[in-house]
Chain A
Amino acid sequence: MSENLLTMITESIVGGEPESVVALTQKALESGLQPLEIINQGLVPGMNVAGEKFARGEFFLPHLLIAAKGMQAAMELLEPELGARQQVHEAVGTVVIGTVQGDIHEIGKSLVGTMLSANGFKVYDLGVDVPKEDFIARVKETGADLLGLSALLTTTMIGQREVIENLVQAGIRDQVKVVVGGAPVSQAWADEIGADAYAENAMDAVEVARRVLM
């Protein structure tokens, strides 16, 4: 019965049915399943299948994003349950992400945030047009492992360099890995400004994030 429920949770993640995911998660809790079981044997496998289907060309971004929505909705239900049982779902890492100052482009950044979140990262998305100081403050406050900086314009790209310089000045450069992305950004640029990595797109970002934190 419980195995059936977990399978159904996985399938509803893959099937892009966030309401079903939540309903089944609720049912699973009521049937006595532990939050961590639900996460690791129901939800996470669902996200993994979605990721594999995307890699195979069977799934597209909308499928991934709806799967992620289901994941996030279920997590909202499970966080308090974990708290109540004094259990912790170990995040793979903590990420602060945002689009640099002067730039209001957000699709790519939001996609990355969503995919990281759905793949076990704790994500603090600061939005767009984010002042350098805000990035630094949030990194300090959250003890983030990873800082993701997005820029879509050549005129705002330099903001990525500036944030890294600010991290150095704040004395915390070595406490956080910096990953950069955005249309005009490249590996060469990442190297030039001293970023730890460059991510091509949202799926790549998950791989890159896992890799730099190893």
Chain B
Amino acid sequence: MMQPKLKILSGKLVSQIIDEAYGLLMDPGVRVHNDDALELLAEAGANVDLESKVAHIPEAIAQRALKTAPSEFYLYNLEGEPVVHYGGDSVQFDPGSAAITILDSKTQEQRPPVTADFVKFVKLVETIPQLDAQSTAMICSDVPEEIGDLYRLYLALNFMRKPIITGAFGKETWWTMKEMLVATVGGEAELIAKPVAVFDVCPSPPLLWSDLTCQNLIDCARSGIPSELVSMPLAGATAPVTLAGAVVQHTAECMSGVVICQLTQEGAPIVWGGSPAAFDMREGTTPMGAVGTWMIDCAYTQIGKALDMPTHAYLGMSDAKIVDAQCGLESAGGTLLAALAGVNMVSGAGMMDFESCQSHEKLVIDAEIIGMAKRLIAGIEARDEPIALTLMRSMGHRADYLADPHTRKWFQEEFYIPSEIIDRGSLDGWKSKGAKTTLERASDRVDQLLKNYQPGPVSDKLAAELRRITAEAAQRFGMDQLPPLPEE
């Protein structure tokens, strides 16, 4: 089967970009504000300036790290089945992460999310077949800021079965999140053998590892938890404005992340990912819906594949504030390109207003786009031998395919059949159903899907343990009682 693919960089550009990235690692080098990492780098032979905290990393070290980093790994669901494949040209999707607002379902206005919103989201994701993994999609405002990262994971673990893409906001909270994961799968060794979570780790453009993110990277590597690099050059602002230039920076930043990871633990799984943008030169904002943004994503993904790394990208989002035409067109453009570029994990479904707002309604609309994208890259096959000769000769000049067994056999595999979110009725038909907008149909679908939710495999004992871990963390920051988990 031939998977349709998009190659956006010429071979020559790929080589040039990689070469320049190696060059940047030496000069100006990478700022690393983490003493452990600086020590590892120095021991490995990098030229480390302890005062300015800059590491000058020789190409040989980077090349070795890229070789020892695994080219693929699996994520497992809570039933222990491998359901996500990072590697090759597998393409999977998860919702955008760490939203600070939610688009209220009733008012369609943004407000801070609370526990019930995220629980509803997790359940919804479980019912959406197009989504391959969960994410800690929103930060709940009904708990102290200091536990914002771990609280979302706690909620998700209670209601999910799919694996999860997450991330920490602190050094200590990372450990609490790990504790939850270990409790969930039944042990540290189990977590290493069958990872259920990936942690995003973000360098700061240009060429900087902050203490916190570097520590997360190191802790993930030591614990055998896959880390996902999210390098975010802002072309024209914190990175060169040329798309190729932004990719050079992305490459160097990811190389440095792979180096620190592999020096910590050779063979630790790590993902070549990002969330770049083509800086908007009027508004000074970071558009996720800009074609330039998508191009940088596709280009760096191609570099990642050239280096035999599993890949990730933030694509499929919109900068729109409401679920309107801009919202749809931007999300579709990015999603389709992500699929064609072969990004292993595409983060972004449901997300709007740059990377700040999540929406249940947009999530189910995005699911349709994802469905189309997945069908696209499943490609065209002959299906039969011969393709059509025998069939058409037997049909002669009749146009009777609708009733033919051949049609009934293949149509559901050949066509992506969307939900009612996509209106394909007649004008009168649409009117008779209430002349609904896409948003209204999406809202109906959210309610419909939630009825299909099946609880995850979390036992009462595990739920109590997760609650204990989270409650202890909350108490350290002044919250005596966790918000209750929503009932059915």
A156 to B, closest residue via Cβ = B145
A166 to B467, CA, bound (A): 37
Indicate whether B398 reaches chain A with its CB closer than 8 angstroms: no
A62 to B152, CA, bound (A): 40
Query: Which B residue sits closest to A111, measured CB to CB?
Result: B284
Smallest CB-CB separation from A129: which chain B residue? B210
For A108, the chain B residues whose CB sits under 8 A away are 284
> Among B232-240, B297-305, B331-339, B361-369, which stretch is in contact with chain A?
B232-240
Given contacts A107-B237, A107-B238, contact A154 B283 (CB under 8 A): no
User: Does A91 belong to the interface (CB within 8 Å)?
Assistant: no
For residue A183, CB closer than 8 A to chain B, the reply is yes
User: Is A61 touching B145 in the complex (CB atoms < 8 A)?
Assistant: no
Whether the Cβ atoms of A61 and B282 lie closer than 8 Å is yes
Known: A104-B210, A183-B356. A57 touches B282 (CB 8 A): yes
**Structural contact, A60 and B356, CB atoms closer than 8 A:** no
Closest to B354 in A: A183
- Residues 220-242 of B, flagged 1 when their CB comes within 8 A of A and 0 if not, give 00000000000000101110000
Minimum CB–CB distance from B235 to chain A (whole Å) comes to 12
Tell me if A62 and B236 are in contact (CB < 8 A): yes
Distance in angstroms between the alpha carbons of A184 and B139 in the assembled complex: 13
Which residues of chain B from 217 to 274 have a CB within 8 Å of any chain A CB?
Answer: 234, 236-238
Question: A202 at interface (Cβ–Cβ under 8 A)?
Answer: yes
How would residues 140 to 177 of chain B score, 1 for a CB under 8 Å from any chain A CB and 0 otherwise?
00000100100000000000000000000100000000
Query: What is the interface residue range for chain B against chain A?
Result: 10 to 19
**Contact A61:B210 (CB < 8 A) given known A107-B237, A155-B145:** no
If A104-B210, A154-B145 touch, does A62 touch B281 (CB 8 Å cutoff)?
yes
Report the bound CA distance from A154 to B145 in whole Å. 9
Q: How many angstroms between the C-alpha atoms of A125 and B238 in the bound complex?
A: 18
Q: Is the CB of B238 within 8 A of A104?
A: no
Alpha-carbon separation in the docked complex, A154 to B148 (Å) = 11
B204 within 8 A of A: yes
The 8 Å CB contact of B284, one of A104, A154, A201, is: A201
Contact of A158 with B by CB under 8 A:
yes
Contact in complex: A61, B238 (CB < 8 Å):
no
Q: Which of A173-214 contact B (CB under 8 A)?
A: 183-184, 201-202
Asked whether, in the complex, the Cβ of A107 is within 8 Å of the Cβ of B284, the reply is yes
Which residues, 98 to 137 on A, are CB-close (under 8 Å) to B? 104, 107-108, 111
Instruction: Give CA–CA (A158, B284) in the complex, Å.
Output: 23
Bound-complex Cα distance A183 to B236 (A):
19
> For B281, what are the chain A residues with a Cβ–Cβ distance below 8 Å?
60-62
A104 touches B204 (CB 8 A): yes
Residue B100 CB within 8 A of the other chain: yes
List chain B residues, Cβ under 8 A from A104: 204, 210
Given A104-B210, A155-B169, A183-B356, also A201-B283 (CB < 8 A): yes
How far does the alpha carbon of A155 sit from the alpha carbon of B283 in the complex, in Å?
Answer: 23
Q: A184 vs B99: C-alpha distance in the bound complex, in angstroms?
A: 11
With A57-B282, A60-B281, A108-B284 as known contacts, state yes or no: A154 contacts B204, CB within 8 Å.
Answer: no
In the assembled complex, which residues on chain B have CB atoms less than 8 Å from the CB atom of A62? 236, 281
A62-B240 Cα distance, complex, nearest whole Å: 13
CA distance A158 to B141 in the complex (A): 14
C-alpha spacing A57/B281, complex, angstroms: 10
The answer to whether B282 touches A107, judged by C-beta atoms less than 8 angstroms apart, is no
Bound state CA distance, A106 and B204, in angstroms? 11
In angstroms, how far is the closest chain B Cβ from the Cβ of A22?
24
A183–B285 alpha-carbon span in the complex (Å)? 9
Residues of B within 8 A of A183 (CB): 354, 356
A30 CB → nearest B CB, Å: 37
CB distance from B205 to the nearest CB of A (A): 10
**Residue from A57, A155, A201 with most neighbouring chain B CB atoms (10 Å):** A155
Q: Known contacts A107-B238, A158-B145; decide if A60 and B204 are in contact (CB<8 Å).
A: no
Q: Assess A107 versus B234: contact at CB under 8 Å? Given A57-B282, A61-B281, A154-B139.
A: yes
Partner of B282, one of A60, A111, A155, A184: A60
Contacts of B238 in A (CB 8 A): 107
Using a CB-CB cutoff of 8 Å, which residues 179-228 of chain B contact chain A? 204, 210
Residue of A nearest to B112 (CB): A154
B234 nearest CB neighbor, chain A only:
A107
Interface centre among A61, A111, A201 (most CB of B within 10 A): A61
Q: Which of B111-148 contact A (CB under 8 A)?
A: 139, 145, 148
Q: How far is the CB of A193 from chain B (nearest CB, A)?
A: 15
Alpha-carbon gap, A63 to B161, bound state (A):
51
Nearest-neighbour CB distance to chain B for A107, whole angstroms, equals: 5
CA distance A158 to B148 in the complex (A): 15
Give complex CA distance A91, B210 in Å: 37
Q: Distance in Å from the Cβ of B204 to the closest Cβ of chain A?
A: 6
Q: Which residues of B contact A184 (CB under 8 A)?
A: 100, 356
| Residues 271-293 of B contacting A (Cβ, < 8 Å) | 281-284
| Bound CA–CA A155/B146 (angstroms) | 8
Interface residue ranges, B against A (CB under 8 Å): 100, 139, 145, 148, 169, 204, 210, 234, 236-238, 281-284, 354, 356
Given contacts A61-B282, A107-B237, 4 further A-B contacts (CB under 8 A): A61-B281, A61-B284, A62-B236, A107-B234
Closest 6 CB pairs of A and B: A60-B281, A61-B281, A154-B100, A107-B237, A155-B145, A201-B284
Provide a sorted-by-A list of 13 A–B residue pairs whose CB atoms are within 8 angstroms.
A61-B281, A62-B236, A62-B281, A107-B237, A107-B284, A154-B145, A155-B148, A155-B169, A183-B354, A183-B356, A184-B100, A201-B283, A201-B284
